Structure formats: structure tokens, C-alpha cells
Amino acid sequence: MAQLLLREIPIGAIQGVLFDKDGTLSHSEPHLLNLAKGRIEQAVQRFHGGHPKGSEISRLKSLLCDAYGLNSQGIHPGGTIAVASRHHNLISTATVFCLLGESWPQALALADEIFAAVDARQDQAPSTAETRPLLPGVISLLQSLRTAGVICAVISNDTSSGIKSFLSQNNLHDSITEIWSAEHQPAKPNPDAVKALCKLIKLAPAQCALIGDADSDLQMARQAGIGISLGFMAGWNQPPILTAHQHLIHHWDDLTVRADTKIPHNFSSP
């Protein structure tokens, strides 16, 4: 059992912490911006057999930017590219093609081609710790949690391989015990995803904190009965707008941990 402190004020005793990845542990905005731009570029090249009119190109780009959550300041932290899985982004892309007059089978096939082309390009130049670095203060916090005996896990809508490569690029395998990806069933934001991940780390949700940068993470945490839900504000150029948190973190240095042997009587075993 360990005590979490937010800006030096105790906020509760926990035995585990579930972390979101993009925009929480990882400064993912440049990587995701690059991914979104690559998909838009491929969409322009493939729409109408590669020969769209100028006005169609502008509309296509504008709709895809809106669908992904891109704006003049970068990525909207609550947008599809920031929060949703690859599959949901693919469906958003296909929906844009429907808005431009394609049938659903054509739209889905185009979206599939686009995503496969961008994935193939990424396989040739995979992301590294430089392109998807940790946010400042993450390493020190994870080390403190480990020292205090707190089990840490990642719950993300990235693929399992994406999460694993992020962990190995940043040498986090010793700090993160388990992962729950978009391929696990059910994926987040289903609260059963939290319950299943807690089961993997042999804790009850009430014994854990969950930290994320999206309301969908925080609502899911509450519905799952998580002990403490924390919103992380510093992962994007534009701070996320959060409403479902118990507490907000503005920098990882805000959060500290203290080993605490007292076990509150209200916690039950999983």
C-alpha cells in the first residue's frame, strides 16, 4: 500500500496505477500529427483514382482534418487521432469518403488502402524514443512507484505491438507489469477493460488509480469503480477539456508517492 500525494497533499492509498499512453506517458503529438498528415496525403493521392478536382481536394482535406481533430494549433486532445483506435480512425476516414459521394464499400476499401500504405511507410521508418518521447517527469514517477511497491500498467487504444515498442524504446519494461491494448476485448473505454486489466495485476479497481488525458478514460475509470481518477493536462499543445476527473495533474512532478503500510479497511480483495 502506498499513499499518492498531489502537490504534497495526500489523495489516497493505492496498490496499482493504470496509465493511458498517448498524451499521458508519451509526448505523442508530433508522431500522431505526422500519421494524420500521411493519411491525408494518401487520401488525396487515391481519391477519384488519383484525379480529384481542386475543390474536391480542399473539401477532402478539410473534412479529414475535422474528422481527425487537426487544427491550426495542432491536435485537439479529444479528437479521433488523439483518442481513438486505428479501427475507429479508419471508420472516420471511410465516413468522410461517404460524405464526398462514395458508396460505403468503396469508402471502406479506400480507407483500408490508405491506412495500409501509411503503415507500410511507417514499417520502413518506425517510431523511436526520439519521435515518441516520454513526457517530463515520467521516469522519476515510475521509479518512485516501483520503489513503493505499486504495480503499474498501461491501458491504451494503440495496438499491442505499438505499446510494446513504446515500452522497449523507453526502457519501461521493468516499470510496466501489464498492458491492455485496442486488440484486447473489450477495449477501452469499456469499463470492463479496466476490470480485466486489474484482474491481470491481481488488484481490485478500488485499489488502483487511473491516469488519462481524455474524459472517456476518466468516465470509464469511474464506471469501473477505480479508487482515484486523475486527469493529465500537460500532454498536448492545447490542454484537454476534462470534466470526469477527481483530480488534475499539470506536470508529472505534481504527483509523488510515499510508502504507507496502513491498509484502509474499506478496500476489498479482487
Cell representation of residue 127: 517510431
- Is residue 232 a contact partner of residue 211, using CB atoms and an 8 Å limit? yes
The distance of closest approach from Cβ of residue 84 to Mg ion in the complex, given in angstroms and rounded to an integer, is 10
Nearer to Mg ion, 23 or 189 (CB): 23
CB of 254 to Mg ion, least distance (A): 18
- Report the residue number whose CB is nearest to Mg ion: 23
Quick one: cell of 8? 504534497
- Work out how close the CB of 95 gets to Mg ion at its nearest, in angstroms, rounded to a whole number: 22
Are the C-beta atoms of 66 and 29 separated by less than 8 Å?
A: no
Q: Which CB sits closer to Mg ion, 21 or 39? A: 21
Nearer to Mg ion, 108 or 218 (CB): 218
Nearer to Mg ion (CB atom), residue 75 or residue 94? 75
Binding site for Mg ion (CB under 5 A): 20, 22-23, 213
Q: What whole-number distance in Å separates Cα of residue 154 and Cα of residue 163? A: 8
- Looking at residue 22, the DSSP 8-state letter turns out to be B
For the chain, where are the E strands, in sequence order? Answer: 2-6, 9-14, 16-19, 70-71, 74-75, 151-155, 176-180, 208-212, 228-232, 247-249, 255-259
Give the nearer residue to Mg ion in terms of CB position, either 20 or 178. 20
Cell reading at 191: 469499463
| 247: number of Cβ within 10 Å | 18
Instruction: State the nearest-atom distance from the C-beta of 32 to Mg ion, in Å.
Output: 10
Q: DSSP secondary-structure letter at 34? A: H
Q: Smallest gap, in angstroms, from Cβ of residue 31 to Mg ion?
A: 13
CB of 73 to Mg ion, least distance (A): 17
- Comparison of 15 and 28: residue with beta carbon closer to Mg ion: 28
